[in-house]
Structure 1
Amino acid sequence: MTNPISRGRGLIATMCVVVVCSGVVQGYLTPLLPVVGAHVGIGGVGQNNLYLLSQVAFAVLTPLLSRWGDMWGHKRLLLIAVAMVAAGSLTIAVWPTTASLAVGMVLQSSVVGFFPLLAGILRSRSPEHGRIGMSVLVGALLLSIGAGGYVAGTLSDEHALAGLWTAVPFCALAMAAAIALPTSTTARAGRFNSAAALLLTLGLGALMLVLTEGASWGWASAWSLLTILAALLLLAAWIRVEQRSAHPLVDLGLLRNPRLAAVSAHTFCIAFGAIGFLGANAVYLGTEPDGHGFGLGLGAQDISLISLAMVAVGFVGSTLTPRLARTTGDRTVLGAGGCVGAIGFLSLVLFHSSVPQYVAGALIVGLATGMFEAVTRTLSVEVVDEAETALSVGVNEMALSLGAAIGAAVIGALWSGHTTAHGAVTDAGYRWAWAACAIVALAGAAVGLLFRTPSAPLTPEAGAVPAGRTA
């Protein structure tokens, strides 16, 4: 008798449990940052830097977990990733300090491996459900991000740090679901490239360091220039090592596929603002407009409600994207997503002095987030052969992580140059940050227009539905 979890609806439902954990982990800390920051003595810039640290970890762990999944099995690495997330969540809940927050958020960043590893299992075990499966998983992710934030915010209104326990039970459920999932049938191959991993980690670390500290060091100072030079040299060495390796950590050769290159570049640009500004969003909403800072002075529960509204709109965008793609094509969806994001951020630049004004712009950004997460995650699966699924999804997830990390770093750098004597961010700092996000979103729209749909589908699955895509 066939195991109902091995394919079809049972497989997708079990995967949803894992994805819900991912969403809760990614969403529950955002509305808590102002409260927890005040408890441990971290200001607005420091809170954004914590968020930045997690995004750097996202970028580093994406290729590591994807590559290890190809080598040792997608299910095995999924179990390890869930265990790391659980350990990070417990660390934060049991011992909330600046150091434990940093360590815990790095461990929680292992959620970045969930989608590539689940995509490898789904495509090998139930390829005929690939599109609907990715659509359901993205929808579950978006809704759980908002729900996790709301639960955490509600708990923290009762007790300041109670919300830090939000992710722990979901991690337990995710571990049980990961154990129940079948192993993928994709052949395992390759060796781990430790040199590439070290160079990538050091290069990204140096790049984020200078983006974070450049304003305080002085952009033309010796420290800034040397750090920039070190980052460029390390990343150049990483690329050279990858190109010469028979077993690359990140198969940069996949980017010779112009369709994957366009999707990944679009992902980078939209994630720069849509994901990179999430930490800044909580800081602005939670900062008291008392003359020492600029913000709306909302509590954790109110912040979580706004975050929930953003992801609810994102869920609508995610579910409507397949229909829009069927009628207008993938390229139009990519271009439209970038334009919607730019409109949202321009709205924030112009109108942000009241809660209704701010929410209007934030909801538009949420809509763009749902659109881009849906279309790019599915296209990254469909534009390559099955054997390259996890690697392709990993490349796209890395583009998302890099975009979010660099976006958060740029926002932090702009904030550092526009603070009051008390260390609070000024109105000009927020405006410059939102404007930068709008400009990069427009670049993402332009890149999306370079995407081309082939006249013949790559796989039988791709031909099962008309030209539209889902995620």
Structure 2
Amino acid sequence: MTSAVGRGRGLIATMVVIVVCSGVVQGYLTPLLPVVGGHVGIGGVGQNNLYLLSQIAFTVLTPLLSRWGDMWGHRRLLLVAVGMVALGSLLIAARPTTATLAFGMVLQSAVVGFFPLLAGILRSRSPEHGRVGMSVLVGALLLSIGTGGFVAGTLSDQHALAGLWTAVPFCALAVAAAVALPTSTAPHQGRFNSPAALLLALGLGALMLVLVQGESWGWTSAPSLVTVAAAFVLLIAWIRVEQRSAHPLVDLGMLRNPRLAVISAHTFCIAFGAIGFLGANAVYLGTAPDGDGSGLGLGAQAISLVSLAMVALGFLGAALTPRLARAVGDRAVLSIGGCTGAAGFLSLCLFHSSVPQYLAGALVVGLSTGVFEAATRTLSVEVVDEAETALSVGVNEMALSLGAAIGAAVIGALWAGHTTAQGSVTGAGYQWAWAVCAVAAFGGAAVGLLFRSSGDTPTPETGIAHAGGNA
């Protein structure tokens, strides 16, 4: 292992390759869903449910990969996660069907482990570059999400399914980069809590199922009520198992740290709308107005350009976040991010009948996304001791995934209750979804005001340096 890759900028540059793969994987399918959905026979609600399935997998895989990383080594688990993502991407590209899309997207959800595992390596190998590194990685993630979508949309305009191959070469590069990374110096510890993992997966699955099927079953019907009860029983049992375990899957005791609790709650609220609505964004842009339905009727490449513009604003937000935090403090940054997202969604509620009108609100949401991702990922590292870095980032990533999953599920449920006879989502369905996202973002802003820091700069104990003017 060369010292250039083992520390400093060489380490960060190698990690950027892996994060770019993560961004491409998270972004390339979004503009393709309308086209690919039509090819395999999946409507708008079904496309949102595919996105929901991936968010459920995100939520379940986050604690699994983080815990396994603590047990068996961050680099080793990173190689496993990158391998899963590569396999899922190849499966989707080689044989696109409803089943392979669903299974492949579940495998691709292993990208959720990249940040906790990379954070563990970065903090142990190059702690003086911690805040710089996290800002660079978040910026690279956001830009690659948009770039991946643009490349996929351009390829898809030439051939409907060609864009599905977009992620494959990036996955190959990520595998090579993961091999080149050094191992973290954190000691391996603990053992895997299988009962907790099973209870968590079943509980979240039941919760998402009722959110997806509640409208068709009837919210007060026996299947809905039984499924809700099962979800709560399973999740309460999971909490009890975790509390009694010497080796918990998710250390819920970490949430007794009030700063981490606030960060996680803020992450949940903002991710509910900013991430949860991404699938809905592509569906609205790609749906041609029909009868009482609503949409803009854009092609895959045009959808990808909108997504690229959103993440470009997100990159700007991520880049400005360290300076903004120095100027006004971390608490104000969290609140500003939430209020900005809410303003974007309210704009979409009022103005969405043309591409320029839609862009005005969507770009504000993109800016908010960059601010919140950079701020929460950095703070989740800084508010705990070094030995808890991966766990802390994992808790925050789980809050993000859970918020996004529930957001996508709620949007799907709202859509299911507002469709035309032809199956298109009505304008009221979209407006209800945007309004709920705005409320969640305002909630995140309010939670952000509860954050208390020991100062607006990282403390020496965290080992994290200021980002400064450039990376």
Which residue does 1:21 correspond to in 2?
21
3-state secondary structure, aligned to 2:420: coil
Deviations for 1:387-441, whole angstroms, at most 9, x for unmatched residues? 0000000000000000000000000000000001111100000000000000010
Name the CA shift for 1:71/1:463 in 2 (closer, same or farther; >3 Å): closer
Alignment map for 1:147-158 (pairs within 5 Å)? 147-158=147-158
1:195-344 aligned within 5 A: 195-291=195-291, 293-344=293-344
The equivalent of 1:465 in structure 2 is 466
In structure 2, the residue matched to 1:418 is 418
Partner Cα distance (2:463, 2:357) in 1: 42
Q: Equivalent residue for 2:194?
A: 194
Q: Deviations over 1:58-95 (max 9, x none)?
A: 00000000000000000000000000000000110011
Deviations 1:141-184 (A, max 9, x none): 00000000000000000000000000000000000000000000
Change (3 A) 1:464 1:164: closer
Question: Does the 8 A contact of 1:374 with 1:470 survive in 2?
Answer: no
**TM superposition shift of 1:290:** 2.4
Alignment of 1:40-439 (within 5 A): 40-291=40-291, 293-439=293-439
Alpha-carbon distance in structure 1 between the residues aligned to 2:470 and 2:334: 12
Letter in 1 for 2:466: V
Q: CA deviation at 1:445?
A: 0.2
- Contact 1:321/1:470 (<8 A) preserved: no
Aligned-partner residue type, residue 156 of structure 2: S
TM-score of the pair, normalised by structure 2: 0.98
The two structures, once aligned, show a CA RMSD in angstroms of 1.5
SS in 2 for 1:389: helix
Question: Structure 1 stretch 451-460 or stretch 96-105: which is displaced more?
Answer: 451-460
Q: Counterparts of 2:241 and 2:369 in 1: how far apart (Å)?
A: 34
**Does structure 1 conserve the Cα–Cα contact (< 8 Å) formed by 2:197 and 2:249?**
yes
C-alpha separation between the residues in 2 aligned to 1:202 and 1:2?
Answer: 44
Partners of 1:457 and 1:336 lie apart in 2 by: 20
The 1:379–1:250 alpha-carbon spacing in structure 2 relative to 1, beyond 3 Å, is same
C-alpha distance after superposition, 1:214-245 (max 9, x if no partner): 00000000000000000000000001100100
Letter of the 1:442 counterpart: F
Partner of 1:36: 36
Distance 1:43 1:463, change over 3 A: closer
Structure 1 contact 330–469 (Cα < 8 Å) conserved: no
Measured at CA, do residues 412 and 265 of structure 1 come closer, stay the same or move farther in structure 2, by a change above 3 Å? same
Asked if structure 2 preserves the Cα contact closer than 8 Å seen for 1:130 and 1:461, the reply is no
SS of 2:358's equivalent in the other structure is helix
Residue 444 (structure 1) aligns with: 444
Deviates more, 1:446-455 or 1:149-158: 446-455
Cα distance in 1 for residues equivalent to 2:63 and 2:462: 26
1:3 Cα deviation after fit: 1.9
Structure 1 stretches lacking a partner, 5+ long? none
Using the TM superposition, name which of 21-30 and 283-292 deviates more: 283-292
Amino acid aligned to 1:6: G
The answer to whether the 8 Å contact 2:19/2:114 transfers is yes
Q: Which runs of 4+ in 1 moved over 3 A?
A: 455-466, 468-471
Alpha-carbon shift at residue 294 of structure 1 (Å): 1.4
Q: How many Å separate the matches in 1 of 2:177 and 2:153?
A: 26
Deviates more, 1:289-298 or 1:442-451: 289-298
Q: Does structure 1 conserve the Cα–Cα contact (< 8 Å) formed by 2:292 and 2:427? A: no
Partner secondary structure for residue 4 of structure 2: coil
- What secondary structure does 2:301 align onto? helix
Contact 2:127 2:463 in 1 (8 A): no
TM normalised by structure 1 equals 0.98
CA distance in structure 2 between the partners assigned to 1:448 and 1:248 by the alignment = 28
Judge conservation of contact 1:26–1:145 (CA < 8 Å) in 2: yes
Partners of 1:290 and 1:410 in 2: CA distance: 24
Stretches of structure 2 that go unaligned for 5 or more consecutive residues are: none
Q: Is the 8 A contact 1:310 1:367 kept in 2?
A: yes
CA distance in 2, matches of 1:136, 1:343: 26
CA distance in 2, matches of 1:78, 1:435: 38
Letter of the structure 1 residue corresponding to residue 323 of structure 2: R
Supply the distance in 2 between the matched residues of 1:2 and 1:54 (Cα, whole angstroms).
36
1:293 Cα deviation (Å)?
2.9
